[in-house]
Structure 1
Amino acid sequence: MSDRLWAHSARDGDGLRHGLADHLRGTAWHAGTFGEVFGAGPLAAHCGLLHDVGKGSCQWQRGLIDAERLGGRVGIPHKHAGTWLLDQHGLGIMSAVVFGHHGGLPDATRLKKELRFADTDPLVAEAIRRVGEIVPEIHPSAPIALPTWLPEAATTDPYALDLLVRMVYSTVVDADFLDTEQHFTGSARPFHPISAADLAERFEQGRLNLLENKPRSPIDGLRQEVYRQCLEASQGPRGIYRIPAPTGSGKTLAAGGFALHHARLHGMRRVIVAVPFMSITEQNASVYRRLLDVEGEDPVVLEHHSGIDLDDGGAGRRWQRLAAENWDAPFVVTTTIRLFESLFSHKPAAMRRVHRLAGSVIVLDEVQALPDRLLIPIVSALRSLTQWFGATVVLASATQPPFELLSPLQGTHIRDVIAEPKPLYKALSRVRYQWLLDPKPTMAQIAEQAAAEPQVLVVVNTTRDAARMHELVEEHRPALHLSTRMAAAHRRAALDEITRRLADEEPVAVVSTQLVEAGVDLDFPAGFRAIASADSLQQAAGRVNRSGRLPYGQVTIFDPEDGNKAADRLYGAALEATRARFGPHCPPDDLDALEAYYRARFDFHNVEAAGHEIQQGRRAHDFPRVAELFRMIDEWTVPVAVRYGDTEKLDAILAHLRAGHPGAGAQLRALRPYLATLPRGSARQALEEGLATPVVGDLLEWLGDYHPQRGIELTSPDPQELVF
């Protein structure tokens, strides 16, 4: 029977089972190919080769036949054999890769315990013997080659090994999923034929076409100068770069141009653009598609912001995991939450894309939005990615935090793309600020003032305040609304309508959460912003007189007497530092004041200490604890599919996902226009009240009311108020 060992049950159609030898070698090939990017090809391939050795036992093989005949899962653990072999081959903590390839990376203590169990488990010895007869290379004749950079990294970077384990784990789970998917679908998922290094000329031509069709602006010359300096800087070595440029200076195009020209210079396969909010991925991805995608060819730009957790669930779990996004595209637009929570996760579906960061240009747009309490592990990982994994990181923001003050980046050369930013900021100063802080106005008073403006944007701090302010403004005039309680397609339609009215000089009033503050190309003559951190105030001001067609736009900063106090929790010390340093005496676009503000904010938050527990967990290889501690936002959110737009198409997508059919990855991509977001507490309450129903993973379908402008209507607010 040993020459007929199986890895997976028979597929539909031809009834063929998946041979175990084929699966082990197929996974090894994929993993090794992925690992070559960061010098770990042999290591990743060997981990892939061993990952399912435990399936060779007679008990597991009988379990597979029974599961195939009766339905259900095999239910017999198979991870100990490969884990034990890796440890015997001297690979230590790397054996966690095999042990965790289904359930998630374990902590080092549990791994040692499981290895002691494997020492005496007869199923382990039996599986190794039987698989060794048909795949003799599971017993290598020489030590497995490790990355040549590892000895140096071990003495200079205490977190390099943590990141190497994560990267190798990512290659193995992605390879496992791809080879499994190929068996069940009958065809391999094709590798994208284009790399980022091939796209620079296409981008340049697309940019020229885009600019030719845009209305001229008084600041076009300054935008061109920013772009020129970005292209010049792109010819530098791999490493960490910083683009400090004011709002409206064309950072989206400039950062994309830098990334693709840098990729061409260094032969890099992928550009990953990460932005803070889903609304920005939608807009930025749309811009990049216009420049890079060609009709009739494979799409170049992949937009991925779905927060659907595919690592947990019941029936159909295999298809949930196979559907997880793996960023196999030359140009990826995602959110910083997806990027960093994947990197610091310990579960397979979330981590299968992590290896794509190696050898990529990673553009972190609006880096000021990164949470202070997580800055130390984040910048530590960025340093390791550039130092050992061949990545280049671009930090882009109009309000650049001085990350070089943080311990992981002290002594690291951060290259400034803009040689002299102060004159640029002065030339692009386009607004005047009015401050309504004492006495505090009411929301109704602000709504009345805003409604009197022909074209106006009002930005508040929470979805609850946005819904209320929208109602108050509509007491005076019609208004549009933006928040993540709206489906993505609904937000897109609202943004398109707002853009049209602004361009046609029609009256328009908009109420939004802070999702409008970064990367959204809107240009109002007047804006109102509820008090927030200085960087948020400046970002909101970037939507006012954005193209410099007025001498100055008007931005009113207000502290609402009856506003949601969640802002105090949301911004914390940043809000206190803002109140102390900015006001009528000092605008939030003063660069010197901004640097002092960030220093005070870092000190008050004790940023160095805040990340200590996560860093300690990384050094101790406590992967579950790190994942538990690393949460980008306090309001742990869940995705909700809403009935907006083509509901027949939505029904078909949801039916496909619930049934667990092959091709679920494509269905999840098709689902994106229908997705809104709720805090987990609100989602749980909606389930209890029958206002929502589960779909797959933690994805819900919304059954309750959906307002034609404000989106999901909650009967009672969640104590953890959603802020986007």
Structure 2
Amino acid sequence: MELWGHSADEWGRRHRLEDHLRGTQERARRHAEVFGAGELAAYLGIVHDVGKGACSWQNGLLRAEASGGRVGVPHKHAGTWLADKAGLDVFSGVVFGHHGGLPSKAGLEAALDEADNEQSSLVQEAIDRVAARVPEILDGPDFPVWLEEAAARDPLVVEVLVRMVFSAVVDADFLDTEEHFAAAPRREHPVRACDLAERFEEGLRAKLARRKPTPVDGIRRRVYAQAVAAAEGPQGFYRLPAPTGSGKTFAAAGFALHHAHRHGLRRVIVAVPFTAITEQNAQEYRDLLDRQGEEPVVLEHHSGVDLDDGDDAPEHRWAKLAAENWDAPFVVTTTVRLFESLFDRRPAATRRLHNLAGSVIVLDEVQSLPDGMLVPILSMLRTLTEHFGVTVLLASATQPAFFELSPLRDISARDIITEPAPLYAELSRVDYEWWCDPAPSLQQVAERAARCASVLVVCNTTAQAGELHQKIQRERGAGKGPVLHLSTRMVALHRKKTIEEIAGLNAAGAPVAVVSTQLVEAGVDLDFPEVFRAFATAEAMQQAAGRCNRSGHLDKGRVVVFEVAGEDGRLRTGGEFVYGAALGATRAYFGPGRALPDDLEALSRYYPVRFTGKGVEKRGEEIQKARTDCDFPKTAALFRMIEEHTVPVVVPHAVPEAESRVRQVIGLLRRGVPAGGLLRELRPYLATLPKGAVGRQAAGLLAPVAGDLCEWLGDYDPLRGIELSDSQEYVL
């Protein structure tokens, strides 16, 4: 009697279990050979579905095939039991978790206890029937030769290897199953990152030839040349300490691709903190690397990209498939997606991890990584660099003192810019002015900003930004250019269009006043002669300064750092609410009579104090303990890149031309239609509100849609979006 692994495809052909096990074995082997664990992954691949050999599972498959229902018979215990008996210990969880996710040790022990007791007859029957056709399931593998020595030096290397092998096996399982139902294998991408350096150079030369020259072009060329020269170095950690406007986006990619060429690496992953920067950078890289009529090489993958909208164009289908496992030579994503995948336990989230091996990971705007997650993040990156063939580039105008934290304390990074201080001095395009003592009122800030022809004002809270926007509107009057606003109280599409409008006005030299929260700072390519910034952390103030005289057309731009005093004389800037203890560390080194935000020496003293004050080491201990225990569910629950203080709200009337379709989608979700693609369709029309304000102010103005998503029933200002007057909650 034949054993089947999957039901019939549309041509009526069932998938033989023997073929599925061997197909998964070979794919898993290829995936894991990159990091020296090919045999381990291959064995886990060939035993992962052994449980399907039981008669009850086979009969269940035939019933499910006829009815369209589920098999309803567990099949994970047999392969898990085999792996454990082969001495694979925690790696047995790869088999048990290949559908539901990596288990904890306690969960794995419970599963093995089941396999030895109530599931024992089912387990043994499945093993006997499958072994008759695939006898190699009874032969366990050896561990990678490098593992014992590595584990002696790095107690977390086993945990990371489990994740990487799990990724290799579940991706192999997905791909082999997909091949059966599609009746055709998915072809691996024919291009590797190491093949792209010359293509990048050609594209960059063409782009620069078309671009209007700026006074800082010579400096940017020198920065780029240093990045390419540094790419010849060995694999490991690198830093790119380059001030804003120095061409960091292209220098980082140039380093990554030339480094990949030097070491034969497979892909480059560029991770940035915010979706808006991801979209911007992905388009820049696409212009340089993708070629008409050829398979794309740049994959843009983040929550704002709709990969389920039914578009069957070849490039869209390629992006959808490549996003599943990052089978692309150049990936642009967000730091949230990258690191939450690295610390996740679910198959769909982790199947791309094996493709990180043999790559360059570029972390842009690295100062934006959350302090509380730094210890596990840096620990993970170190393990990847030391054992999985990864090079990490940390790019930022304000390089945090990461190498003084415990995971990196005994190693060092190579600096692409070996003497950054002269570069910062040469690229100094602004004069700072402190407006703190006496602190002005919000009205005084509005009056002064309104007199500027073009100005950007950056606030710490949405409430302050909204109030200041209204005041500047009144003060500025007609005929002096628009007064625009940016915050996450506006839906995503509204923000995107506003940023495009601002960029167009900047390029035309037309007057415009913009009041924004911090979302405008990191990487958004805007250029103002004057910037007003509410007092914040040093890196936030410097990032705001990066939007001032960005192209160097002025001798000096002006950055005014202000603190607002309320009627009672108390400061109302909102910085303490947003930045907590980090703001206290900033005040110790920066401000009137102290250093400017771009003072490198002061920054080198500030970061250690900031990290100590915020208890960075202490906050990482619980996650590291869960990782040491290989408690994958607990690690996933504890690791959160974004504090969940906000709730998403859909505003159907924010974009009138889309209102009808948005309301239709809301109706479908309320009727219980599966949410995946529908939720992605709503993303351009989502804003966020602080949880506290939802119960306090928004009562009666919100209607539930699905999960924690609500519909906003109140007014939507065409410039400021949703307005809640008394909320000081910061929303990026």
After TM superposition, is the score higher than 0.5?
A: yes
Q: How does 1:192-271 map to 2 (within 5 A)?
A: 192-271=189-268
SS at match of 2:325: coil
Q: How does 1:380-395 map to 2 (within 5 A)?
A: 380-395=379-394
Paired AA for residue 632 in structure 1: M
Task: Determine if contact 1:383/1:409 at 8 Å carries over to the other structure.
Answer: yes
Q: For residues 590-614 of structure 1, what are the alpha-carbon distances to aligned partners after superposition, in whole Å with 9 as ceiling and x for unaligned? A: 1111111101112212322221111
Matched residue, 2:88: 91
2:623 aligned residue (614, 632, 640)? 614
Q: Give me the whole-angstrom Cα distance separating, in 1, the residues matched to 2:226 and 2:648.
A: 39
Q: Give me the whole-angstrom Cα distance separating, in 2, the residues matched to 1:611 and 1:124.
A: 40
Q: Give me the whole-angstrom Cα distance separating, in 1, the residues matched to 2:700 and 2:178.
A: 35
Matched residue, 1:165: 162
SS at match of 1:237: coil
Q: How does 1:205-604 map to 2 (within 5 A)?
A: 205-306=202-303, 325-477=324-476, 478-561=482-565, 567-585=575-593, 586-604=595-613
Q: How does 1:632-651 map to 2 (within 5 A)?
A: 632-635=641-644
Q: 1:325 to 1:646 in 2, by over 3 A?
A: farther
Q: Give me the whole-angstrom Cα distance separating, in 1, the residues matched to 2:23 and 2:440.
A: 65
Q: Give me the whole-angstrom Cα distance separating, in 1, the residues matched to 2:379 and 2:426.
A: 35
Q: 1:134 to 1:689 in 2, by over 3 A?
A: farther
SS at match of 2:75: coil
* TM-superposed deviation, 1:351: 1.4
Q: Give me the whole-angstrom Cα distance separating, in 1, the residues matched to 2:679 and 2:27.
A: 23
Q: 1:672 to 1:349 in 2, by over 3 A?
A: farther
Q: 1:681 to 1:413 in 2, by over 3 A?
A: same
Q: For residues 229-260 of structure 1, what are the alpha-carbon distances to aligned partners after superposition, in whole Å with 9 as ceiling and x for unaligned? A: 00000011111101111111110000000000
Q: Give me the whole-angstrom Cα distance separating, in 1, the residues matched to 2:321 and 2:290.
A: 26
Q: Give me the whole-angstrom Cα distance separating, in 1, the residues matched to 2:261 and 2:86.
A: 39
Single out whichever of 462-471 and 269-278 deviates more from structure 2. 462-471
Q: Give me the whole-angstrom Cα distance separating, in 2, the residues matched to 1:683 and 1:95.
A: 47
* Structure 1: segments with no counterpart, 5+ residues: 311-320
* TM-superposed deviation, 1:691: 4.1
When Rg is computed on C-alpha atoms for both structures, the one with the higher figure is 2
Q: 1:153 to 1:334 in 2, by over 3 A?
A: same
SS at match of 1:221: helix
* TM-superposed deviation, 1:113: 2.0
1:693 aligned residue (705, 717, 732)? 705
* TM-superposed deviation, 1:655: 11
Paired AA for residue 364 in structure 1: L
Q: For residues 482-531 of structure 1, what are the alpha-carbon distances to aligned partners after superposition, in whole Å with 9 as ceiling and x for unaligned? A: 33455554433322221111111101122222222112221110111122
The reply to whether residue 51 of structure 1 matches residue 62 of structure 2 is no
Percent identity, aligned pairs only, is 55
Q: Give me the whole-angstrom Cα distance separating, in 2, the residues matched to 1:268 and 1:391.
A: 9
Q: For residues 102-131 of structure 1, what are the alpha-carbon distances to aligned partners after superposition, in whole Å with 9 as ceiling and x for unaligned? A: 222111122112212211222211222222
Q: Give me the whole-angstrom Cα distance separating, in 2, the residues matched to 1:139 and 1:683.
A: 60
* TM-superposed deviation, 1:340: 0.9
Matched residue, 1:314: none
Matched residue, 1:126: 125
* TM-superposed deviation, 1:344: 1.0
Task: Determine if contact 1:639/1:675 at 8 Å carries over to the other structure.
Answer: no
Matched residue, 1:29: 26
SS at match of 1:384: helix
* Structure 2: segments with no counterpart, 5+ residues: 308-319, 477-481
Q: 1:194 to 1:105 in 2, by over 3 A?
A: same
Task: Determine if contact 2:647/2:691 at 8 Å carries over to the other structure.
Answer: no
Q: For residues 153-209 of structure 1, what are the alpha-carbon distances to aligned partners after superposition, in whole Å with 9 as ceiling and x for unaligned? A: 111011111110111111222222233333344444432221111111111111112
* TM-superposed deviation, 1:62: 2.9
Paired AA for residue 182 in structure 1: E
* TM-superposed deviation, 1:476: 4.0
* TM-superposed deviation, 1:479: 2.4
Q: Give me the whole-angstrom Cα distance separating, in 2, the residues matched to 1:654 and 1:136.
A: 53
Paired AA for residue 229 in structure 2: E
SS at match of 2:270: strand
Task: Determine if contact 2:466/2:723 at 8 Å carries over to the other structure.
Answer: no
1:624 aligned residue (630, 633, 650)? 633
Q: Give me the whole-angstrom Cα distance separating, in 2, the residues matched to 1:374 and 1:137.
A: 42
Q: Give me the whole-angstrom Cα distance separating, in 2, the residues matched to 1:185 and 1:358.
A: 28
* TM-superposed deviation, 1:359: 0.8
Single out whichever of 571-580 and 173-182 deviates more from structure 2. 173-182
The reply to whether residue 138 of structure 1 matches residue 107 of structure 2 is no
SS at match of 2:269: strand
* TM-superposed deviation, 1:569: 4.1
Q: 1:151 to 1:483 in 2, by over 3 A?
A: same
What is the TM-score normalised by the length of structure 1?
0.89
What is the TM-score normalised by the length of structure 2?
0.88
SS at match of 2:332: strand
Single out whichever of 648-657 and 669-678 deviates more from structure 2. 648-657
SS at match of 1:475: helix
Q: Give me the whole-angstrom Cα distance separating, in 1, the residues matched to 2:621 and 2:630.
A: 14
Q: 1:31 to 1:517 in 2, by over 3 A?
A: same
Q: Give me the whole-angstrom Cα distance separating, in 1, the residues matched to 2:126 and 2:690.
A: 43
Q: CA RMSD in A?
A: 3.3
* TM-superposed deviation, 1:582: 0.8
Matched residue, 2:98: 101
The reply to whether residue 153 of structure 1 matches residue 146 of structure 2 is no
Matched residue, 2:317: none
Q: Give me the whole-angstrom Cα distance separating, in 2, the residues matched to 1:718 and 1:186.
A: 56
SS at match of 2:485: strand
Matched residue, 2:688: 678
Matched positions, count: 701
SS at match of 2:611: helix
Q: Give me the whole-angstrom Cα distance separating, in 1, the residues matched to 2:173 and 2:667.
A: 26
Q: 1:300 to 1:167 in 2, by over 3 A?
A: same
Q: Give me the whole-angstrom Cα distance separating, in 2, the residues matched to 1:188 and 1:688.
A: 53
* TM-superposed deviation, 1:263: 0.7
